[in-house]
Structures are given as C-alpha cells and as structure tokens.
Structure 1
Amino acid sequence: EMVVASLEYGVEKPDPRLFHVVLDHFEVDPSDVLHVGDNPLDDLEGAQGVGMRGVLIDRSIPNPIKPYINDLGKIEEAFAWTS
C-alpha cells in the first residue's frame, strides 16, 4: 500500500509521472496495478494512460461511469473485470 501526495512530487494527476512514482517504488508492471479513484479524467484515464487498470469508486453518483465500484471491499472483483 502506498499513498502518493502530488504536492510532494510537483505534478498532479493525470500526469503520467505521478503514476510512475508508484510503479517505480514497487517495481511492478503497470498491468498488475489497479488504481481506484473518483475522477474519470484524473484517475481512470490517467491510470489507463500509463497501462494500469483503473476503476472508479462511486459513493453517490446516480448514473455512474463504468467501470466503477461503490465499496473498497470489491477491489479484487474489479481487478478481475478490468483485465
């Protein structure tokens, strides 16, 4: 687990450099990572832009953009359907 604050790195999502901070830290292939976020551009497109899997978490949107989850307990399930 890792939390990356954009302020510490001087770049903001969806800048690929921010996503690469995590990839480099864990030395993982982007396709092995599931990024969970709540912003379609910054989180979903940003993650997918570097080759990560991406899923939106929806806690209140009546007609959510898919793929989405509404509970962090569904991360493993989401990882399977984003492959």
Structure 2
Amino acid sequence: MATLMAVMVFGGAAALALYALAATVLPQASRIAAVLRGQSGNVRFEPLSSLVRAERRIAVRRWAAGSTMTAAALRPREAA
C-alpha cells in the first residue's frame, strides 16, 4: 500500500513537472530550433527601445505644452 501511494505521489509530481516544462518550452520550440541551427529568424522583443520612444514622445509633448505656458505658471513658487 505504501509503495502504491509513493508511486502515485511521485508519479503525479513528475507528470506535473513534465507538463510545466512542456507548457513553457513548446510555444518557443521553433525559436529554440532556429537558434540551435544558428539562425535568428524573427524580430526580438525590445521593451527598452519602445520605452525610449515613449519617453521622447512625452518630452516633445511637454516641450510643446511648455511653449504656451502663461506668466502665472512661470512665476516662482515658495517652498512648502
């Protein structure tokens, strides 16, 4: 009985580990195979470059908005 229980527990854990491995590797299998063949076929995701573009867009908007600032917005403020 204990042997059967051990086989069920460890078999279930092994099945869960194999499922997790397959679920993470299979969606990227074509990219993995391409890298192993020495190819880099598809475009890489580069969040830093999109962040740089967004920051530039924000800076341009702030610059454009700042050019029409009123005198009240430009007056010096006291520290709190």
Range of TM-score over shorter length: under 0.3
TM-score for the superposition, normalised by structure 2 = 0.18
State which structure, 1 or 2, has the greater radius of gyration over its C-alpha atoms: 2
TM-score normalized by the length of structure 1: 0.17
Write 1 or 2 for the structure with the bigger share of helix. Answer: 2
